[in-house]
A and B are shown apart, each in its own frame.
Chain A
Amino acid sequence: MSLFEEYLTLGQWLAESERLAIYNYLLQTRSDRYRNESQLLFSKKSLYSYAANGEIYYSVNSNIVQYNARKIGDQNWNNQIRAMKLSRIGFLTRRRLCKFFAQAELDVIRNFPNQGSNHQDEHSFTVNTYPFYTLDYFANGGGKLKGLFKKIMRKEDPLLEKLLAS
């Protein structure tokens, strides 16, 4: 089992810094896949994807992309988890979509982990209120300038390096 596969089993045990490291890992290692998926999503207006033990349904409507999620095997989808307005500029849209995909997959990894050694208690679908692709996350809602400053000053978590090396 690789280190990344082990982290796919942690679920609710994932710490904040680990979640951010996994988000960056997904962005760096799945960029080609995300670009292909963004083309598919634009042509078909909807897309199904998988992460850990969860299923994701993306849809685009009036320049808004959103996703719903469910545990593999469940009948019902969770209500809309996140939505993001898309830019009208092509390459910006693709870049933003890649970040949206990585965030969605991370949310699903956190809530529907693979079966592993760690016990997962019953819980609600839980996410970071501010997604990692916004400056609001780094500022905790305290403004974009503060967010930009904190993002620049932030040290990369050593887990990202370990994941990339594994």
Chain B
Amino acid sequence: MSLTIPKPLIPILTKPMTPPWVLALVLATQLTINYVGSGSNPSCTLNVQRPHHSTYLVEHKNADAIKVNVKSKCTVPQISTTISAEIYELRGNQSIKVFSVKNQTAFADKRDPTESIFQNFSFVCQTGRTGLYLGSASGSVLLTNGKTIQVSGNSGNYHPEICENTAK
């Protein structure tokens, strides 16, 4: 049995609805907008991790610490990120700075040059004590195109953290 296609349908099935040159033009325009958009307005964010407890061994003794890690991430490759970071503790209604480090530079990650990772901004805490902590950092990112972008961030709300190993 042969299939018969009604005549009025043939032009619809065989001819494209939009001329190819219009499609090409739309595609090219979209690509140009995307490229110019990302090239002229690169952006960076600073992600400050929630302060958390950790232990390390120093001078043959275990030390309890509250630490914060920070990562900068850009839409384009960077050379380095320079920041100052703090950890605050909420005591009563007062926010007390319990840790501070200034002018630390991390060079772009070899595997992903759009990001730089800072580890272990930390202070030794009193074992067993619970505190409400918040991490904060600010600084700038030097991009490979020579531009500098200011960045800042914090870990959100004050979060309770106990200064001891709670892992079972």
Contacts and interface: CB of A to CB of B under 8 A. Distances in A.
Interface residues of B, number: 27
Interface stretch (A54-62, A85-93, A118-126): A118-126
Nearest to A3: B59
A15 B101 CA distance: 9
A127 B104 contact: yes
A129 B116 CA distance: 14
Contacts of B82: 129
Contact of A13 (B56, B101, B117): B56
A48 interface: no
Closest 5 CB pairs of A and B: A129-B103, A124-B106, A123-B119, A12-B120, A126-B106
A124 B107 contact: yes
Contacts of B97: none
Given A129-B104, A140-B102, A124 B57 contact: no
A128 B106 contact: no
A128 B107 contact: no
A122 B108 CA distance: 12
Nearest to B100: A16
Contact of B58 (A13, A76, A141): A13
B104 A12 contact: no
A16 B115 CA distance: 23
Given A16-B101, A129-B104, A124 B118 contact: yes
